[in-house]
Chain A
Amino acid sequence: MIEVLNINKYFGEHQALQDVSFTIQQGSITGLIGPNGSGKTTLIRIMNGVLGANSGLVTIQGIDTSRETEKVLAICGTLTEQSGLYENMSGRDNLLFFADAFGLKRATERIDELVHLLEIQDYQHRKIGTYSTGMKKRLGLARVLLHRPSILFLDEPTNGLDPDGIQTVLRIIRQLNTELNLTIIISSHVLTQLSAVCDHYIFMEKGRVVEKGTEQEIIQRYQSAPRLEVEADMPNGWKTGIYSPETVTAHTATYQLSSREHIPLLLRQLTEHGQVYQARMEGNDLESIYFAIREANAHE
């Protein structure tokens, strides 16, 4: 379990983090969401102990990260935006170097395992300078997994990747979480990708945590009046009981409801009078919620 308690961090006069507190459960995938400059990367560096906070406390499995940084780093893997790989060395030589830096025994076996897991067999002997961004990300992931960490910090892991690369990285993240029960913290501002892997979210704005919880919890907080788009065949028209649609086309209608509790009632009435094929809530995706949260915190 990771516990972050009242963290404040200044760079000179600038306050990068302001009274940040939250808890992350073991085995969860948490998305750290916020615009550029909101303090995500600083927070990750403080969480793994590499950067010091001006006040507050971070503990990972009960270990104070600022006091026992080496112990913490031995159980954490951190992938930053810069892959931190040596361009003049081959992918495999990079892994061999970091295996020694981590003090790994039987490094070759572990490297073979990771090369297979991350599918980097074909280019492991090529110099990093010739790698594409996607290849570097995969090798970077292999590097942070070398010492079998139980916690992964991934800072913008899909930045600069093509759609195939994004899918591969997300697949690997899911696989690591389900097969090895790794606790994963992903910082990103590409929200559609995060909703595919994360089960918890922490929203940050100007160095503060402005929202946290599961996707459902956050949606419930921010979507008091949902809009529902329904696709159906309604031979006798769309007006049913107390519900009148806002917009209507041949097979779709949009209803503005006063609360989530009205959704099952409306659907029940529609199915009684016609054939309902699908219903979709508008503005309940992570991106809409993100903007709603930013809007709500814009004037604070």
Chain B
Amino acid sequence: MNNRQAIRALIRKDIRSVTSSVQLWLPMLIVPLIIGIIVPSAMLWVASRVDLHSISNLNVVLDTLDKLIQSGQMPSLATMSTDNQRIVYFLGLYMFAPLFLIIPVMASSILTANSFAGEKERKTLEGLLFTPMSMSTLFRGKVLAAFIPSVLLSWVTFIIYGVIANILMYPIFGTLMFPNWNWIILILWVVPTCSLAVILLNVLISAKVRGFQEAYQLGGLVVLPLIALIAGQATGMLMIGPWMLLGTGAVMLLTSFILLRLVTMWNRRQQLAESQI
């Protein structure tokens, strides 16, 4: 049988199922809009225009930046003449990077939970199991149906964020600052590998639960390490650099391979059918 034809059909059907449900597509638009565009733009705009020492809470961040300069972790900061330049640089090119990972994680979780646990809940999975489509075709189609929109959503948000960041940073630095290597590696390497790992983890979870809500809630636990990453970055405890990002992507890819083995072991046609009963 024609695998590509079946994979394309699965992708089209799953994407259509998302676009036809406002409960699914609305959070997938709102979260990137807030995390990737509104909040970073507002913070960058404020940081570029306001006297930073007048905002008492910001002294903590400024102290963090001083420590980073002294420890030599961010030598580029030392060459900058004002606190506004430093903080805009830090926010625009470092601070929001881990925050950005929430977008593919969130999108992948919603899409996969809908795709697998949702099919179970709506009693449509059995119809797919009755077709002669192989299990690897079914999984490839389902994984791609979550992977493609998730990565595209992250990339589109990245482009819009990039345009806004450059518009706000250009008057301060007189040159296009965005993106740096961190962002390029993040978007082209970490976002796809992270999406894949989250999707496969959700496929595993979906196979064991009965409904969309349960799958989505369990899958949401993936956000916890991200929060730790964001906190580490904000307090200067953990500075993300290109090597660290390359390593993170590699770990995600390795995790994906392990998850893929488990997915193929635990999701044979007969096991999936039995989990429906």
Most buried by A among B6, B9, B132: B132
- Distance of B122 from chain A, by nearest CB (Å): 7
- Contact status A51-B270, CB under 8 Å: yes
- The contact of A84 among B2, B8, B123, B134, by CB within 8 Å, is B123
Closest residue of chain A to B134, judged by CB?
A70
Q: Does B21 contact A (CB under 8 A)?
A: yes
Closest residue of chain B to A103, judged by CB?
B1
Q: Does A87 contact B (CB under 8 A)?
A: yes
Residues 80-126 (chain A) with a chain B CB within 8 angstroms: 80, 82-89, 97-98, 100-103
- Assembly CA distance A87 to B121 (angstroms): 13
Q: Does A137 contact B (CB under 8 A)?
A: no
- Contact status A101-B128, CB under 8 Å: yes
Chain A, interface size: which category? 35 or more
- Distance of B9 from chain A, by nearest CB (Å): 3
- Assembly CA distance A24 to B153 (angstroms): 53
- Contact status B131-A102, CB under 8 Å: yes
Chain B, interface size: which category? 20 to 34
- Contact status B123-A50, CB under 8 Å: no
Q: Does A52 contact B (CB under 8 A)?
A: yes
- The contact of A74 among B3, B122, B132, B273, by CB within 8 Å, is B132
Residues of A within 8 A of B255 (CB): none
- The contact of B132 among A71, A86, A97, by CB within 8 Å, is A71
Residues of B within 8 A of A69 (CB): 269-270
- The contact of B133 among A80, A89, A101, by CB within 8 Å, is A101
* Main DSSP-derived SS at the B contact region: helix
- Contact status A98-B131, CB under 8 Å: yes
- Contact status A51-B123, CB under 8 Å: no
Residues of B within 8 A of A48 (CB): 130
- The contact of A86 among B3, B5, B8, B124, by CB within 8 Å, is B124
- Assembly CA distance A70 to B17 (angstroms): 26
- Asked if A101 meets B6 with Cβ closer than 8 Å, knowing A50-B273, A70-B132, the reply is yes
- Assembly CA distance A50 to B275 (angstroms): 12
Residues of B within 8 A of A84 (CB): 123-124, 126-128, 130
Closest residue of chain A to B130, judged by CB?
A78
Residues 60-87 (chain A) with a chain B CB within 8 angstroms: 66, 69-71, 73-74, 76-78, 80, 82-87
Residues of A within 8 A of B129 (CB): 50
Q: Does A40 contact B (CB under 8 A)?
A: no
Q: Does B13 contact A (CB under 8 A)?
A: yes
- Contact status B122-A51, CB under 8 Å: no
- Distance of B115 from chain A, by nearest CB (Å): 12
Q: Does B16 contact A (CB under 8 A)?
A: yes
- Contact status A51-B8, CB under 8 Å: no
- Contact status B131-A73, CB under 8 Å: yes
Residues of B within 8 A of A73 (CB): 130-132
Question: 6 interchain pairs (CB within 8 A)?
Answer: A11-B274, A51-B274, A51-B277, A76-B130, A101-B6, A102-B131
Q: Which 5 A-B pairs have the closest CB atoms?
A: A84-B127, A100-B9, A103-B1, A52-B270, A73-B132
